[in-house]
Structure 1
Amino acid sequence: MDLIVQKFGGTSVANAERVEHVADLITRTYDKGNNVLAVVSAQGKFTDVLVDKANEINPKGSRREMDVLLSAGEQISIALLALAIEKRGYPVKSMLGWQAGFVTDSNHSNARIRRINTERVQNELAKRTIIIVAGFQGLDRYDDMTTLGRGGSDTSAVALAAALNAKKCQIYTDVDGVYTADPRIVKGAKKLDSISYDEMLELATLGAQVLHNRSVEMAKRYNVDLEVLSSLEDRPGTIIKEEANVEKMIISGVAKDTNVARISLLELKDQPGMAFRIFSLLAKEKINVDIILQSVGRDGTKDITFTVAKENADHAVEILSKSKEQIGCKAVLCDKEVAKVSIVGAGMESNPGVACKLFDALAQANINIDMVSTSEIKISVLIHIDDAQRAVAAIHDKFYND
């Protein structure tokens, strides 16, 4: 008997009507002879409501206590969904993350899964019980509640699918698949029938919000069949697999990321080991760096510019400013009014002129480029944040409609 893991995001269970609809989707899959395990997020914007409540009491609350608070959202969702399925006469049991066997590290608010003890879940599945699991959460070795961070429910679902050797992991969301660009802002965005793990991982990392990059990375590592589809409309979705269609487009998608800040260190000493000094300081604070550009300055100096997530910018500037003398730089500058726009596609490797086409699209739209980063299957440009949406539309039009 096949096991299907289904994940439902916050919009899919936002109110009573949608909870009832999700219960129908789950029981329909069950009636086809499958075992079903569903992973559920907190309803709608309920997590944001909990954050606001915490800020009313203590804006600087510890991450441990925030994890205790935020994990409550999923508990409500799984109970309501289980009640809806129970009403339909099906055997069902809801489980919190720890009850489903999730053991994590102790990095509160962004924990990593160490292992999943699947014995209890497997015993219930053997009885043909529908399992509803709270996504986004687990317990560390001290039995403290932890949360997995942004996109944690996607990661929970893929991890369970891998641990239980599920036939498929279906990610239900408010769009009916993966598109060449955000269909809400780009007219003519096309839905993809399939996309490779590598392309999806790049798109997720670069700002596409359909799936979280950690879940795609895990699916690739354990060869989990993923499908993205709508919980609101009954239509085929997008399959994510090792290799997508051979006859395919040059690029698979255009993504934008406005959660970006650019940091520049001016007039650094031009000597060996300087880059190591700078980025080791950030690595110790677990600050990830993305695009890096080094340019020649004056009088034996150089400038280094790089990007970080916007929420890490102030901390990064503080660290580097305190170490200005140690590093030997004249100034540390930060610009949060930037955005990263990227194209992704395995077809780029065998098609020359892709970068030229990208730059032509931006030039025709009169959009200036600050920085460029490339790999085998992606090109990213850093531009002013006000130009981001226009840039995505111009690039998409150039590649798909020119």
Structure 2
Amino acid sequence: MGCKAISLTGWQAGIKSDCNYSKAKISGMDEQRLEKELAAGKIVVVAGFQGLSTDGDITTLGRGGSDTSAVAIAASLGAQRCMIFTDVDGVYTTDPRKVKEAQKLPTISYEEMLEMASLGAVVMQPRAVEFAMLYGVDIEVLSSFSLEPGTIITEVNNMEQHRIVTGIAHDCKCAKIGVFDVPDKPGVASLIFSALAQAGVNVDMVIQSAMREERNDIAFTICSDDLPLALPVVEKIVKEIGASGMSHGDNVAKVSVVGAGMQSNPGVAAAMFEALAAEKINIQMISTSEIKVSCIIDEDKVVTAVKALHRKFELDKLNC
């Protein structure tokens, strides 16, 4: 094409990060080099996934680091949109490999995409979406293999239509841990979850069941990859607090209904529970926020649950 180009590493491009090696987070940008090369009429190719720490060392940004790098560069240059080319042609109402009737979304809000990504949708990593939302940069998810329009991730106020439910997400990388006969005293739960946090284990859903004689059962979920880290921590705490024992298993999964329209439309949770009950799927745990309802179920029921929820909320008719 005859265009001048230059390639830069992440640190040459001015990407700054913290010192959490292999999982570093972008802490800032120095866009002077980028602006200089662009002003010279050059196409700038930047290596994603890397930055420079406050100690002057090269770091890698962890999962989704390349997408986050692209959004950070777009934000630092004042771009209105960052185009992400990937192996899928957009964001769908659910995993099209599980539900053939899944529909591609023309737009989705930052908040909805964050929920979808954190709940198992792998199209975009949460950190990239968080960065885009913070700096007001739209993200367009496009296919590297076609010219079809993709999905624009934007402010909810910029969307042409407001849906009650936008999508169904699922996550099979869940593990459930139960601690039995926990003394009903202030600070006991803090001991459990502080120890897990110190071990680098992120806790997702938590439920406490009131039992008898001032003792409770506590159950919580974590990523199944963290189970080897969590088990010795919990076993130690069980002895320290005088609980009677613990259980664990990774044969569970999380299914979630996501939609910004839930905030002003009651009844979504009831409809979700009704759909799962119709398929004889038992709900083990429930978690809600303003724009999502999540349930822990048996892992072998995930596909059935996702299909049932997709039908229940008529997401197959989204683009009809």
TM-score norm. by structure 1 comes to 0.75
Match of 2:212 in 1: 298
Write the deviation string for residues 41-63 of structure 1: whole angstroms up to 9, x where unpaired.
xxxxxxxxxxxxxxxxxxxxxxx
Question: How high is the sequence identity, in percent, across the aligned residues?
Answer: 50
**Distance in 1 (alpha carbons) for counterparts of 2:212 and 2:249:** 22
CA deviation string 1:128-175 (max 9, x = no partner): 211111111122234433211111111111111111111310111122
Distance 2:266 2:274 in 1: 14
Q: Which residue of 2 aligns with 1:233?
A: 146
Structure 1: how far apart are the matches of 2:280 and 2:85? 38
Structure 1 segments unaligned to the other structure (5+ residues): 1-87
Inter-partner Cα distance in structure 1 for 2:132 and 2:311: 31
Q: 1:89 maps to what in 2?
A: 2
Matched, 1:384 2:298: yes
Task: Judge conservation of contact 1:260–1:308 (CA < 8 Å) in 2.
Answer: yes
Q: CA deviation at 1:371?
A: 0.6
CA distance in 1, matches of 2:181, 2:192: 13
* Aligned match of 1:184: 97
Question: Within 1, Cα distance between the matches of 2:78 and 2:37?
Answer: 15
Alpha-carbon distance change, 114 to 245 in structure 1, aligned in 2, over 3 angstroms: closer
Query: What is the correspondence of 1:111-122 to structure 2 with a 5 Å cutoff?
Result: 111-122=24-35
**Cα distance in 2 between the residues matched to 1:336 and 1:183:** 24
Give 3-state SS (helix, strand or coil) of 1:323's partner.
helix
Q: Whole-Å Cα distance in 1 between the matches of residues 81 and 70 of structure 2?
A: 10
1:108 aligns with 2:21: yes
Q: Determine which of 286, 298, 318 is the counterpart of 1:372.
A: 286
Q: Which runs of 5+ in 2 are unaligned?
A: none
2:43 match: 130
Please report how far the alpha carbon of residue 199 of structure 1 lies from its aligned counterpart in structure 2 after TM superposition.
0.8
Indicate the SS of the match to 2:133.
helix
Q: Which residue of 2 aligns with 1:219?
A: 132
Which structure is richer in relative contact order (CA contacts within 8 A, separation 6 or more)?
A: 2
Matched, 1:343 2:222: no
The Cα RMSD (Å) is 1.5
Moved more, 204-213 or 182-191: 182-191
Q: How many residues align?
A: 315
Mapped contact 1:317–1:332 kept (Cα < 8 A): no
Q: Which amino acid in the other structure matches residue 281 of structure 1? A: A
1:160-309 mapped onto 2 (5 Å cutoff): 160-243=73-156, 244-245=158-159, 247-309=161-223
SS of residue in 2 equivalent to 1:255: strand
In 2, distance between residues paired with 1:219 and 1:208? Answer: 17
The residue that corresponds to 1:316 in the other structure is 230
Q: 2:53 aligns with which of 128, 135, 140?
A: 140
In 2, the alpha carbon distance for the partners of 1:389 and 1:159 equals: 36
User: 2:85, 2:141 within 8 Å by CA — same for their partners in 1?
Assistant: yes
Classify 1:247/1:116 alpha carbon distance in 2 versus 1 (closer, same or farther; 3 Å).
closer
Quote how far apart the aligned CAs of 1:246 are: 5.7
Contact 2:191–2:237 under 8 Å retained in 1:
no
State the alpha-carbon separation in 1 of the partners of residues 238 and 101 from structure 2. Answer: 49
Counterpart CA distance in 2 for 1:166 and 1:317 is: 46
> Match of 1:146, SS?
strand
- The amino acid of 2:42's aligned partner reads T
Structure with the largest fraction of helix? 1
User: Secondary structure in 2 aligned to 1:290?
Assistant: strand
